[in-house]
A = this chain, B = another copy of it.
Amino acid sequence: MPIHDPTRIYATYFIETAYPLAEAATTMAGEQSTGTFLRVPGETDELRERFAARVESIAEKEPAQTASLPGSGTPKNWDGKRHTAEVTLSWPLHNIGPSLPNLLATVAGNLSELKPFSGLKLLDITLPPAFLTQYQGPQFGVAGTRKLTGVFNRPIIGTIIKPSIGQTPEATAQQVKTLAEAGIDFIKDDELQSDGPHCPFNTRVTAVIEVLNNHAARTGKRVMYAANITGDLDQMLSRLAHIEANHGTCAMVSMNSIGLPVMKIIRQHSHVAIHGHRNGWGMIGRSPAAGMSFVAFQKLWRLAGIDHTHVNGLRNKFCEPDGSVIASARACLTPMFPAPNKGCEVMPVFSSGQSARQAPDTYKALGTTDLIYACGGGIMGHPQGVAAGVMSLHQAWEAAAQNIPLSVYAETHRELKAALDLFGA
């Protein structure tokens, strides 16, 4: 991490503009601090000196051939060139104080609509450690999640209750029983499943955790169940209390559905790990020319208190390229603040079309097993059954950790062999 002034907020953007880069960057800084479209009385030099955002750096990139987004303007006597760059701005913390909601309005507010830009995306943020006076960061993170699950030195193998929606609490508990007996470490609700009348949250959670408590009493192994508490705040707090009363160890939230201030409150009340589901992230993150990267996004939510978050996975069924997946996962595992502050590291969750086949590349790219590796069809669809599905993933990660090709390891491991036959090597 480069050295930053701990009294300033930094944000780095991709920009695409027909205007000279320095002029465009100055417009961003002005709009997001002291400026308006006409200089007004009161905007003194002294005031600007104390409160204006500063352009810290401009790194020019390859020009764009066409405008990525519609509606932008062009300067008089335009030379036809559409510049792109990575621009870093900074703001004095005292403009807003350590407040995540107000940070958003400052670094991710009106500037994405500014006329000079045919593309503008927030790529990264660096925050003053003073934010730690207002936000607690993750309670469990990587080490705490390992302790709660008793899984060390390998990925936490997880799965998702499927079908996504429509099962009764009893059928859900039965599926969880099968999965627990199959050796799974972690089970989560689908994000579409919450508290519908056909599968009420409390009934489902009581039934599921009873199965897991019995399993733990019998085997000593405590499977983590991320029950989806997403809802209005009173509902979320009561669902969280229900999980805790049943001795559950995890609650899931849809981050885009609840907002940062509610996440802060859930973190304050929770005694269990918080699984931050990022559904809807594609709306703000998928376009290279608009919105916000996941590298920036996850920092906001880590500070607010999530312990895990989703990063897709290699060769996923979505549109995210592998490089972006790995960059997101690495970001989750990188401290947010210089020591001796809290680093707020969280556990990346690999999911979406994952099976045994992606384990070696995932390990190679990430260099650690500090992750949750979640497979749906990759476990439930295994031809030898669910236990073999889980086993095939253990074998794949053993092979990955020992740098043995999957096809070689599969010669002596029949569950892995069947998985590779089904999903491809």
A binding-site residues for B, Cβ under 8 Å: 32-38, 40-43, 47-48, 50-51, 69-72, 94-97, 99-102, 104-106, 108-115, 117, 122, 134, 160, 162-167, 171, 175, 191-192, 194-198, 230-233, 235-236, 254, 256-262, 264-265, 277, 279-284, 286-292, 312, 317-321, 353, 376-377, 380-381
Q: Which residues of B contact A109 (CB under 8 A)?
A: 191-192, 254, 256, 279-280
Q: Is B290 touching A286 in the complex (CB atoms < 8 A)?
A: yes
In the complex, residue of chain B having the shortest beta-carbon distance to the beta carbon of A97? B196
Q: Is A195 touching B99 in the complex (CB atoms < 8 A)?
A: yes
Q: Which residues of B contact A317 (CB under 8 A)?
A: 37, 114-115
Q: Is A101 touching B38 in the complex (CB atoms < 8 A)?
A: no
Known A-B contacts A43-B162, A162-B43, A232-B264; A112 and B167 likewise in contact (beta carbons under 8 Å): no
Bound-state Cα–Cα, A72 to B282, Å: 12
A21 shortest CB reach to chain B, Å: 18
Name 12 A/B residue pairs within 8 A (Cβ), A-sorted: A38-B377, A38-B380, A40-B380, A101-B257, A108-B280, A109-B191, A110-B280, A111-B282, A114-B318, A259-B262, A283-B290, A290-B291
How many of these chains are in the complex?
A: 2
A314 shortest CB reach to chain B, Å: 13
Bound-state Cα–Cα, A258 to B191, Å: 21
Q: Which residues of B contact A192 (CB under 8 A)?
A: 32-33, 95-96, 102, 105-106, 109
Counting from the closest, the 6 A-B pairs by CB-CB distance are A259-B259, A71-B319, A38-B377, A112-B282, A51-B166, A113-B282
A7 shortest CB reach to chain B, Å: 12
A161 shortest CB reach to chain B, Å: 9
Known A-B contacts A163-B47, A259-B261; A283 and B112 likewise in contact (beta carbons under 8 Å): yes
Q: Which residues of B contact A196 (CB under 8 A)?
A: 94-97
Bound-state Cα–Cα, A196 to B105, Å: 13
Q: Which residues of B contact A230 (CB under 8 A)?
A: 101-102, 105
Q: Is A290 touching B288 in the complex (CB atoms < 8 A)?
A: no
Q: Is A254 touching B36 in the complex (CB atoms < 8 A)?
A: no
Q: Which residues of B contact A51 (CB under 8 A)?
A: 163, 165-166, 198
Q: Which residues of B contact A47 (CB under 8 A)?
A: 163, 166-167
Known pairs A34-B165, A115-B318 / 15 extra A-B pairs, C-beta < 8 Å: A41-B380, A42-B175, A47-B163, A96-B194, A99-B195, A101-B230, A102-B195, A102-B254, A105-B192, A108-B283, A115-B317, A231-B261, A233-B264, A258-B261, A283-B284
Bound-state Cα–Cα, A232 to B108, Å: 17
